[in-house]
Amino acid sequence: MISIYQQLEKYLKSIQNVDLNSIESLHLPKFKSYMNIIRLLYKIDQDIILSDYIEGVLKETHLFKDVVLASKPCVIKASPKSDMVVVWVDIWDSQSSSLAKNIINCRFNIGRFIATVKGTNMNPGVPQCKNCWKWEHLILSCCSHISRYAKCYEAHTTKHYRKKVWCCMENKKVNRLATKKGKPCPHVFKCMNCKGDHQVDSHSCPYWRNCFN
């Protein structure tokens, strides 16, 4: 009896312009298992813990010998000022999560530190408030009574910038027309987190890079 894998291989060979050498292995659809690695410093033996560093470590670790990563590991600081990180790892697994069950709650060495693997849900990321634009909380738990604009951090919401900001309002004395609906605010960028010249929710922000890798 021909297996499903042999049938797939036979079908692929019948298709033109398909390079079978570029296909590592044939397999049925799999499920994702989610876990994180804790008790790690942001810097180990002078090496900053980045996604590529963790990926290289996992390839050399016996726990992850038969594991295929579903995406690059995500490294997030425990808090912006913390020297500890949490590494989120997504792997391809069976419906019964057999691979994850053999890894979760196990320990392994990364440099001179002993890391622990924990089961978790999908990586939620680090939240950013859409009211005050600070990291680590959502708008529902924001303590600020003033809404800020993500571009210039003036005291007005994004949707009201044409009515609230002097550079967007009409000024007949200097022959300035109001900013038209749908046009960007002419304010200069200002990030309240790092004081840089970019929008506060930009991924180029050093503050953002301290939270994500």
Domain ranges (residues) in the chain? 28-119, 146-213
> What are 198-213's pLDDT values in tens digits?
777 776 676 665 555 4
Question: Going by DSSP bridges, is the β-strand pair 84-93/113-119 parallel, antiparallel, or unpaired?
Answer: unpaired
> What are 27-58's pLDDT values in tens digits?
555 788 999 998 888 776 666 777 888 889 99
What is the band of 82 on the pLDDT scale with cuts at 50, 70, 90?
confident
Q: Output phi, psi for 93, to 5 deg.
A: -145, 175
> What are 125-159's pLDDT values in tens digits?
667 788 888 876 778 778 888 788 777 777 766 66
Of 50-64, 67-81, 101-115, 161-175, the poorest mean pLDDT is in 161-175
Q: Can you tell me the distance from the alpha carbon of 101 to that of 112, in angstroms, rounded to the nearest whole number?
A: 25
Higher pLDDT, 117 or 47: 117
- State whether CATH 3.90.105 applies to domain 28-119: no
Q: How many other CB atoms sit within 10 Å of the CB of residue 113?
A: 12
Please provide the distance, in angstroms rounded to a whole number, between the alpha carbons at the two ends of the chain.
Answer: 48
What pLDDT score does 1 carry?
A: 47
Higher pLDDT, 108 or 178: 108
DSSP E strands, 65-155: 74-77, 84-93, 107-110, 113-119
Question: What predicted TM-score, i.e. pTM, was given to this entire model?
Answer: 0.52
What pLDDT score does 17 carry?
A: 65
